[in-house]
Amino acid sequence: MPARAGAGNARNPAECETGLQEELRSRCLPQNAQASLRARRARGPKKHLKRVAAPKHWMLDKLTGVFAPRPSTGPHKLRECLPLIIFLRNRLKYALTGDEVKKICMQRFIKIDGKVRTDITYPAGFMDVISIEKTGEHFRLVYDTKGRFAVHRITPEEAKYKLCKVRKIFVGTKGIPHLVTHDARTIRYPDPLIKVNDTVQIDLETGKITDFIKFDTGNLCMVTGGANLGRIGVITNRERHPGSFDVVHVKDANGNSFATRLSNIFVIGKGNKPWISLPRGKGIRLTIAEERDKRLAAKQSSG
């Protein structure tokens, strides 16, 4: 059927020719140029995550599926968080499937830092307090010495607060001082003595700072990144390297010394006294031989 005169969808022949030329030109481009051309035509954020590309500390097996739950955007980075679905299904075994996790969350049983979360892929992260009122359980997400999030149960009294590392301090509009923490909290009018890299204790009910720990030698800290992830020790020395990364030296309870970047250090106590309960192992990394001896001793005592 011939097209009606003045039809709205009729295209100019010159436009069609131009589009054809662009298409042919793009096909003749090298691979990297084609990739950049496709990148310019992106359709928003990624919604999927392959299981083999998921963070290792989630401990997902490769053969039980193709995809992994992609964490929602939130206060913690994708590779430094633990989605709620993995915590409830894979760690606590309170659900067998993702649908069951959704049913649990939609009944508003799960609280993170005192707020109900119904998103099954909500990114919980380091120092977050997960509360399940139905069972009366409270957990704090902290690392074990192998760099994985431990299922660390805490008391209801300890679940009322959390520790946050100070990432940034700035003066906002009208001269109001602001403080930004590692979990993306912005707090106005902080104590003037609080500086970057210090740790603040936050009351989860009010969101206010109740106390703080200075980043000083002699204080207890936990390593939150790098090869020593999850180790706990006392800060012994700080090396300043202007234009590069400052290095902090730490000594654990067994007398073993190690060093890491300043950005990986999270102060958790004054002196040797921690402000939170520590996970099993107390942050002391054992050698392979020490782990073997410990297992053999436990086996002999039980046998």
User: In this predicted model, what pLDDT tens digit does every residue of 169-224 receive, in sequence order?
Assistant: 999 999 999 999 999 999 999 999 999 999 999 999 999 999 999 999 999 999 99
Indicate if the pLDDT at residue 92 is higher than 80: yes
CA 105 to chain centre: 20
Share of the chain above pLDDT 70, in %: 86
Rounded distance, CA 116 to CA 129, Å? 12
Share of the chain above pLDDT 90, in %: 81
Domains and CATH numbers, the chain: 51-154 (3.10.290.10), 161-213 (2.40.50.740), 220-271 (2.30.30.30)
Q: Which residues fall within 8 angstroms of residue 172, CB to CB, at 6 or more apart?
A: 178, 188
For the segment 240-264, the average pLDDT, to the nearest whole number, is 95
Indicate if the pLDDT at residue 147 is higher than 80: yes
Q: What's the confidence (pLDDT) of residue 10? A: 55
The DSSP secondary-structure symbol of 84 reads: H
- Residue 234 phi, psi dihedral angles, 5° rounding: -100, 135
Tell which residue, 8, 28, 267, has the closest CA to residue 163: 267
Indicate if the pLDDT at residue 35 is higher than 90: no
What value does the mean pLDDT of the chain take? 90
Pairing relation of β-strands 115-116 and 137-143?
Answer: unpaired
Q: What's the confidence (pLDDT) of residue 27? A: 64
Six token digits for residue 7: 């039809």
Q: How many residues does the chain have?
A: 303
Pairing relation of β-strands 115-116 and 161-171?
Answer: unpaired
SS3 103: helix
pLDDT band at 42 (very low <50, low <70, confident <90, very high): confident
Rounded distance, CA 241 to CA 254, Å? 28
Q: Which residue has the higher pLDDT, 40 or 252?
A: 252
Tell which residue, 136, 135, 129, 124, has the closest CA to residue 152: 129
For the segment 265-276, the average pLDDT, to the nearest whole number, is 94
SS3 40: helix
- Residue 267 phi, psi dihedral angles, 5° rounding: -70, 130
99-131 pLDDT, tens per residue? 999 999 999 999 999 999 999 999 999 999 999
